[in-house]
Amino acid sequence: MTTATSSDVTGKIFKLAPATNLNGTVQVPGDKSMSHRSIMFGAIAEGVTEVSGFLEGEDSLHTLDAFRAMGVKIERGGEGEVTLHGRGVGALVPAAESIYLGNSGTGMRLLTGLLAGMNIPATLTGDASLTGRPMKRIVDPLSQMGATIGTGEGGTPPLTIEKSDTLKAIEYVCPMASAQVKSAVLLAGLHATGTTVVHEPAITRDHTERMLRGFGVDVSVDGLTSSIRGGQVLKATTLTVPGDISSSAFFLVGASMTPGSSLLLTGVGMNPSRTGVIDILRLMGASIVVENERETGGEPVADLRVSGSRLKGIEVPEELVSLAIDEFPSLFVAAASAEGQTVVTGAEELRVKETDRIQVMADGLRALGADITDTPDGAVINGGRLTGGTADSCGDHRTAMSFAMASLISDGPITVLDCDNVNTSFPGFAQIAQRAGLNIEEVAATP
């Protein structure tokens, strides 16, 4: 993969001068995973569901638009406030046109399982990045349940869900640790005959199971096995979406790796299937204190106080990889700052995200002066200072924000290309990061 130059790209870029630390208080936007699910479940529940803390990002807004297109009355209040007037599964109608989901793999995979189970035909499309992502991982188990789903060449989107008979429950062994695959099968099982059982090879995020319980659905979890009985009806509820720990990760890394930092992150979701980034940073020597623990909508929430120090390189335990899979772009930056060597293995799932995140991070960090060698399932990183330069995010929101945080350990300026998709998960990132201490400017690229 080659690194583009500013003459090759259009759209937004980040320009960053070296910074030294992060300070103050930061409240990150609502959790993206939970925002998707709050719309999906509120839309098919019986009664009025009120959601606060909804992420006003492009990905979750596409999910909201999808259910509007299928006949659900959705009202907007202030920022992050959504009211869904659910009338049950039977009230949904097929969308008149293809449903566009932008960059959202979560939206596409979960919606496919839900619509296949409800026997609602649809064509799901996305942007160029989403159109290249693997979908056979959900199409195969859904087909075993009796769904008929067409894909593009190579098992990628667009996905065409055809009308079929009522699905039948299956017992499915996931070949990879993926909350999206697990959730797609469970959501199809919600409307299948019998009890659907999903076995996972490792722990993944459990937002689907927790939130379904909040809507009155009986979901059984026993270790790495989840099961759901078909035919259950969702009842409307009121829920608050906590701050996204994946968005917090950039600030956790930035503050942890810079001596002199003192940062408070408020209202962060602390679901135990998502806190691997904290565990890994603590193994590297980070000082992260959990304060004001509480619960919102069945999800644990807390404030995180971070004090900066010099991190040390580690071998990342593979059992923590699935608990921090979306946070590894920022963790690669932490490793680039650390004293000694960091080794990441068992993270091959990173190669089929919005981009090949192993390759994009390795190429970008090398362009900024890091000593990093990518491997098929991870990377070997020898820490130190960066020299600065230009890194191409390749349109991936998480790699773009990670490269921005690299300016805290760089002796020279950094330019990050292709940053438009940052708004999919973290609208206002540049402004919030600037207030915390980054010397960041968001500008239009020069064609």
Catalytic residues: 326
Helices (H), strands (E): how many in the chain?
Answer: 12, 23
Please give the radius of gyration of the chain, using alpha carbons only, rounded to the nearest integer.
Answer: 21
Rounded distance, CA 117 to CA 316, Å? 38
DSSP 28: P
Runs of H (alpha helix) within 70-178: 105-118, 136-144
Q: Which helix (H) or strand (E) holds 132?
A: none
Which of 113, 112, 111, 67 shows the shortest CA–CA distance to 93?
67
Written as one string, the DSSP assignment of 226-276 is: EEEETT---B--EEEPPBPHHHHHHHHHHHHTSTT-EEEEEEEE--TTTTH
Structure tokens of 263? 């940062």
Neighbours of 51 (CB within 10 A): 26
Rounded distance, CA 278 to CA 293, Å? 15
Asked if 409 and 257 touch (Cβ cutoff 8 Å), the reply is yes
Neighbours of 97 (CB within 10 A): 10
DSSP 339: B
Rounded distance, CA 131 to CA 197, Å? 29
Q: At residue 338, what is the residue type?
A: A
